[in-house]
A and B are shown apart, each in its own frame.
Chain A
Amino acid sequence: MATLCKNCGHALIYDPAVKKMHCMLCGGMWAAEEVESEEKKYRENERVMTREEVYGEEKEIQEEFLECYVYTCSECGGEIVIHGSEVSTKCVYCGNPTVVFSRVAQEKTPHFIIPFCVTRDDALRLIHERISHSLFVPKEIKNFKAEDVRGIYLPYWIVNAKYEETCVVRSRVKQGKYSSTKYWGRTGYTDIKNFPVDGCSLLSNESSARLEPFNVHGLKVFDEDYLLGFYSNASDIDYDELHEVTENRAKEIFETEAKHDVSGSSQQIIAESHQTSITNDYSYAMFPVWFVTFTYEGKHNTILVNGQTGKVVCGLPWRKALFWTLTVILGVILTILAFYLFKGFFYAMFDVGVKKRSSSSSSDSRGKIVVAIGAGIVALISAGVTKMKKVLTQIRLTQSAKTFNFVKKRQE
């Protein structure tokens, strides 16, 4: 279904720049709530047909069409092919924005929606601004030309939950010269309010978590007209996944606090039992996200932009040669400085040139200092490796074929 302009009959789209429904032909503008299509009620029951129902069983089916459904454009009668859980798209023949009404009608209607606030141009500008001064981002990426820029409303479940946990925390506590291991019992709960859980199974939970925060004060009562001109998907996750995502975050919040609540260092949870109860007052909402794709060195990359706040989320490929050259040059300079520093330090520590009988306790403390320096160096390298791993994980997510196909397999 397309919502038509009251003045000229052209299809309307939602324009984030003016936050109104906009007719690109005559320039007419209306608030989404003001636009009421007479056809809405009639179309609520219009069914989406599977590919087999339309074309019959065929033995040779292209893999890309295996999960396709066929819908008829209400304006030109053309066949619109939609994938999996898509809710809104564009007609390939007449270009009109289309909402697959049966997927957001009656019991499937989202309660709320956060309309797009960031325009397509804003999204591209924000990406370019964010990466333009990055040292290790290749020039080709800094000047990338987007292949596809798609505004997609993602389904989210907004849940309230109670998380309870009882756990035993182990920590090292210093007492004078020595340290000992102590065990602490902690039991408690945390109430989770308005936590958004991504309802789209095709987008990784890690990527959707990084799109946060969404400002729930910007929620509006759902109206299909906000979808016009954008793509959107219906929820396709199961109850187990809803529990898992909520529980993981609540557990992280609780255990961080439980570790802070005990004294000592190297706190670790060594045993626990928990219970997550999601209350029945959860709601269904649609949140706006821009997906920007480009190709670099033959690999597809997808950058995400929060359509409400403009937060950019991605892991970008890096200039490996520059990175390692810089590391080696910096490494050589720092090694020379550290060599003279350690030389002076060790000379002083081992009392070279001073004739003095060393006791066993002073040689013991010297040994401890050497071990401590060695441990510090290992910790420094480990911290570097952890940071590097984080970057590589995000690059892998940005280059995920699943995300790319999620964006690409839509009608232009």
Chain B
Amino acid sequence: MAFINFLAALFGAGLGFGLAFFIAATILNKNNNIGDSVGSASLYTGGVVMTDKDNAMKLKDENLYIISHKPKKPDYPTVPTGKGLVERSRDQ
């Protein structure tokens, strides 16, 4: 009996204060964190195309899969990397 009362009090306090904190934090986030969103993926991409799927992988094959499917460097001109300041594209 006492054990059940203790367990109910412990879980009751946990759920009660946990839920109260969650509700208050949700209201706070909604009111004080204004403009909490970035441009959606659909604005910048037509979607993700999967070119290979392995649905029965073993953990030991992880490295082999990554090495054998590693993306290759493109054969068309791309923007350089480095610490140089970005400049207007000369192609335009």
Contact = CB atoms under 8 A, between A and B. Distances in A.
Interface residues of A, number: 120
Interface string A152-193: 000001010010111110000000000000111111111111
Given A190-B49, A243-B81, A381-B18, A199 B86 contact: yes
A109 B88 CA distance: 8
A347 B4 CA distance: 7
Interface string B21-59: 111111111011111111111011111111111110111
A35 interface: no
Contacts of A335: 12-13, 15-17
B72 A275 contact: yes
A64 to B, nearest CB: 23
Given A239-B86, A253-B48, A271-B66, A213 B40 contact: yes
Interface stretch (A7-15, A38-46, A91-99, A384-392): A384-392
B28 A240 contact: no
Nearest to A110: B88
B86 A235 contact: yes
Contacts of A166: 52, 65-66, 69-71
Contact of A193 (B22, B40, B45, B58): B45
A385 B63 CA distance: 36
A283 interface: yes
B16 A337 contact: yes
B35 to A, nearest CB: 4
Given A237-B85, A283-B92, A327 B21 contact: yes
Nearest to B37: A210
B56 to A, nearest CB: 8
Q: How large is the interface on B (under 10, 10 to 19, 20 to 34, 35 or more residues)?
A: 35 or more
Contacts of A157: 86
Contact of A162 (B52, B55, B66, B74): B74
Contact of A184 (B4, B7, B55, B89): B55
A166 B53 CA distance: 10
A136 interface: yes
Contacts of B78: 277-280
* Candidate in A111, A237, A275, A333 with the most chain B CB atoms within 10 angstroms: A275
* Candidate in A137, A334, A383 with the most chain B CB atoms within 10 angstroms: A334
Contacts of A193: 44-46
Nearest to A169: B57
Contacts of A186: 50, 52-54
Given A136-B27, A342-B7, A212 B38 contact: yes
A284 B16 CA distance: 53
A280 B90 CA distance: 8
B32 A315 contact: yes
A107 B91 CA distance: 11
Contacts of B36: 210, 390, 394
B48 A188 contact: yes
Given A194-B44, A273-B70, A331-B16, A279 B79 contact: yes
A379 B20 CA distance: 13
A377 B15 contact: yes
A341 interface: yes
15 contacts: A183-B57, A210-B36, A210-B37, A212-B38, A213-B43, A273-B66, A275-B73, A282-B79, A311-B35, A314-B35, A338-B15, A377-B14, A377-B18, A380-B19, A381-B14
Can you list the 9 inter-chain pairs with the closest CB atoms, starting with the nearest? A335-B16, A185-B54, A339-B12, A212-B39, A313-B35, A334-B16, A275-B71, A164-B71, A134-B31
Interface of A: 107-111, 130-131, 134-137, 157, 159, 162, 164-168, 182-196, 199, 209-214, 235-243, 249-250, 253-254, 256-258, 261-262, 270-275, 277-284, 304, 311-318, 323, 326-328, 330-343, 345-347, 350, 352, 370, 373-374, 377, 380-381, 383-385, 387-388, 390-391, 394-395
